[in-house]
């Protein structure tokens, strides 16, 4: 990271998992990037603890999936239980590879993820990361954005110019203020105590499943993390003080039904307000927001960080095509319409789950919300489409076939448009048309894959975007 230019293609404000992932996506395309982060280093204590197969697919694209997988733990699923421990709702995450090419759910220690992301950024000559730097002024015109920031390591004011500025700077986003967007409120606002612990020894009775304890007195969540890491999240009652309840002497009585101070060390306690908000506008001119800057969700689906990674997977390839292939900047307007509805679906589902945890007649509420023919309640993983944008209808996520040599489809095609085509259909196309198609992306014949026919699901061809969402299908 040696580039010290005052002119950049993109400035990213915030170097958490979302901002760092975007820096990787753009860095791979040789785009000149500056990343600013107000902290001196990545936060060393646990925060996000989960990501899914779609997010791992993005990590695959930026080249960290194998290294990351080694420090993760597969998540077997989540269950809602009553105060007696009886299962009310079951959300299994089977131990098998999904159609996206990865397991459906991973548990991670966020500092491990951030360490990998930041270390790998050092390989890009075109990506500069400045820590202890805080943006405080932005002004944009038709051609670019002027940004000023304070280098808090020396007290100097720096000025840079960029073609685009992306705010990945969290729930209190500085960049969002300049976009001047309102937030849609989905109605969930609760205080919860988060307790991260390190077990001193084996404690198998805690189990591997994430548990939502539907206790009308104090709802709680248990999460099994990698290695000896465990997390509890507990509702803070209206009469309780946020500072007092987070003190160890007050935390241990709340955990007494599960473990004692002799069995674990408290690594961190914090009281958070869990919100359900989504920005109405995600861009203004050359300014964009992603991650918590654009949306906030209760944690009951583990989709907070996931949504942010999806944001930059969508935005990243569009910036590349505007900066490198001179696409019309209006192309970027599709970012809000495509991403907002997808993120909102996850938030609304998390709100519904949070409401169920707090419902007194939980069994009846769960059965009504997630019915199953044999009775009880069951939930499956969500893969909602993105909203209208490049096309006028929602677009589903496309799966990841396996090539004949055993490699994954995404590794074979790279970060570009691709065409998965039935062999006979391709053979019948005009040669010049095929040559034109090859200029726009890579053609993969079904015969080059082990399971491409399954992914086409009866279609003759599929046009797949760089973020792996379906752009079009030919079914004739």
Concatenating the DSSP letter of every residue in 329-375 gives GGGGGHHHHHHHHHHHHHHHHHHHHHHHHT-SSHHHHHHHHSB-TTS
Listed range (58-72, 109-123, 176-190, 378-392) with the worst mean pLDDT? 378-392
pLDDT tens digits for 108-154? 999 999 999 999 999 999 999 999 999 999 999 999 999 999 999 99
For the cut 70, the answer to whether the pLDDT of residue 6 exceeds it is: yes
The pLDDT of residue 375 is 46
For the cut 60, the answer to whether the pLDDT of residue 1 exceeds it is: no
Q: Judging by DSSP bridges, how do beta strands 295-296 and 229-235 pair with one another? A: unpaired
**Most trustworthy range by pLDDT among 80-94, 97-111, 351-365:** 97-111
Concatenating the DSSP letter of every residue in 101-152 gives SS-SEEE--HHHHHHHHHHHHTT-TTEEEEESEEEEEEEE-SS-EEEEEEET
Q: Where are the domains of the chain?
A: 7-72+107-183+277-348, 409-474
Neighbour tally for 427: CB within 10 Å: 10
Phi, psi (deg, nearest 5) at residue 333: -65, -20
- Topology of domain 7-72+107-183+277-348, CATH: FAD/NAD(P)-binding domain (3.50.50)
The pLDDT of residue 2 is 42
For the cut 60, the answer to whether the pLDDT of residue 330 exceeds it is: yes
The pLDDT of residue 381 is 81
Tell me if 130 sits within 8 A of 33, measured CB to CB: no
The pLDDT of residue 439 is 76
Tell me if 223 sits within 8 A of 107, measured CB to CB: yes
- At residue 372 the predicted structure's pLDDT band, cuts being 50, 70 and 90, is low
Tell me if 277 sits within 8 A of 294, measured CB to CB: no
- At residue 379 the predicted structure's pLDDT band, cuts being 50, 70 and 90, is confident
pLDDT tens digits for 210-234? 999 998 889 999 999 999 999 999 9
Spatial separation of the C-alpha atoms in residues 376 and 363, rounded to whole Å: 8
For tokens 């080059």, the residue is: 448
Q: Look at residues 118, 115, 139 and name the one whose alpha carbon lies nearest to residue 127.
A: 118
Instruction: Return the exposure string of 33-68: e unless at least 16 CB atoms fall within 10 Å of the residue's CB, then b.
Output: bbbbbbeeebeeebbbbbbbbbbbbbbbbbebbeeb
For the cut 90, the answer to whether the pLDDT of residue 368 exceeds it is: no
Tell me if 395 sits within 8 A of 341, measured CB to CB: no
Spatial separation of the C-alpha atoms in residues 89 and 56, rounded to whole Å: 26
Tell me if 192 sits within 8 A of 235, measured CB to CB: yes
Which pTM value belongs to this model?
0.94
For the cut 70, the answer to whether the pLDDT of residue 4 exceeds it is: no
- At residue 46 the predicted structure's pLDDT band, cuts being 50, 70 and 90, is confident
Instruction: Give the chain's mean pLDDT.
Output: 93
- At residue 5 the predicted structure's pLDDT band, cuts being 50, 70 and 90, is low
Coil, strand, or helix at residue 321? helix
The region, left, alpha or beta by phi > 0 then psi within -120 to 50, assigned to residue 468 is: left
Spatial separation of the C-alpha atoms in residues 75 and 108, rounded to whole Å: 10
Q: Look at residues 191, 332, 195, 352 and name the one whose alpha carbon lies nearest to residue 274.
A: 191
The pLDDT of residue 70 is 97
- At residue 367 the predicted structure's pLDDT band, cuts being 50, 70 and 90, is low
pLDDT tens digits for 269-296? 999 999 999 999 999 999 999 999 999 9
Contacts 24+ apart (CB under 8 A), 358-367: 358/216, 358/219, 358/235, 359/214, 360/216, 362/80, 362/82, 362/88, 362/214, 363/82, 363/88, 366/80, 366/88, 366/89
| Cα 248-254-259 angle, rounded to 5 deg | 85
Percent of the chain with pLDDT over 70: 95
């Amino acid at each position: 990271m040696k580039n010290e230019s005052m002119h950049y293609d993109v400035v990213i404000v915030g170097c958490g998992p979302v901002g760092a992932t975007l820096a990787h996506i753009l860095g791979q395309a040789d785009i000149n990037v500056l990343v600013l982060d107000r902290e001196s280093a990545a936060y060393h204590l646990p925060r996000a603890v989960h990501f899914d197969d779609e997010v791992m697919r993005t990590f695959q694209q930026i080249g960290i999936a194998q290294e990351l997988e080694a420090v993760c733990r597969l998540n077997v699923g989540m269950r809602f239980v009553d105060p007696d421990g009886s299962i009310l709702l079951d959300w299994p995450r089977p131990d098998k590879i999904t159609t996206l090419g990865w397991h459906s759910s991973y548990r991670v220690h966020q500092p491990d993820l951030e360490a990998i992301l930041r270390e790998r950024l050092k390989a890009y000559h075109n990506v500069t990361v400045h820590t202890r730097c805080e943006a405080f002024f932005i002004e944009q015109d038709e051609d670019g954005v002027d940004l000023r920031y304070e280098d808090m390591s020396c007290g100097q004011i720096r000025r840079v110019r960029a073609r685009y500025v992306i705010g990945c700077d969290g729930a209190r986003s500085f960049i969002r203020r300049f976009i001047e967007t309102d937030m849609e409120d989905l109605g969930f606002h609760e205080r919860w105590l988060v307790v991260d612990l390190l077990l001193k020894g084996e404690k198998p009775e805690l189990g591997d499943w994430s548990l939502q304890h539907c206790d009308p007195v104090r709802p709680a969540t248990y999460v099994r993390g990698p290695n000896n890491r465990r997390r509890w999240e507990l509702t803070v009652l209206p009469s309780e003080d946020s500072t007092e309840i987070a003190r160890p002497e007050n935390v241990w009585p709340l955990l007494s039904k599960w473990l004692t101070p002799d069995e674990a060390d408290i690594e961190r306690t914090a009281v958070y307000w869990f919100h359900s908000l989504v920005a109405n506008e995600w861009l203004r001119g050359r300014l964009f927001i992603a991650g918590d800057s654009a949306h906030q969700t209760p944690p009951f689906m583990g989709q907070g960080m996931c949504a942010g990674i999806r944001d930059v997977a969508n935005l990243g390839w569009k910036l590349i095509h505007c900066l490198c292939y001179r696409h019309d900047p209006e192309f970027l307007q599709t970012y809000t319409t495509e991403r907002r509805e997808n993120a909102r679906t996850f938030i609304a589902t998390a709100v519904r789950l949070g409401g169920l945890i707090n419902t007194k007649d939980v069994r009846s509420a769960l059965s009504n919300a997630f019915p199953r023919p044999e009775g009880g309640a069951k939930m499956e993983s969500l893969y909602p489409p993105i909203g209208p944008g490049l096309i006028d209808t929602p677009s589903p996520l496309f799966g990841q076939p396996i090539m004949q040599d055993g490699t994954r489809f995404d590794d074979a095609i790279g970060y570009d448009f691709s065409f998965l085509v039935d062999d006979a259909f391709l053979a019948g196309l005009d040669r010049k048309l095929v040559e034109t198609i090859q200029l726009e992306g890579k053609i993969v014949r079904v015969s080059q894959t082990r399971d491409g026919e399954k992914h086409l699901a009866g279609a003759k061809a599929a046009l797949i975007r760089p973020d792996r969402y379906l752009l079009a299908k030919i079914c004739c």
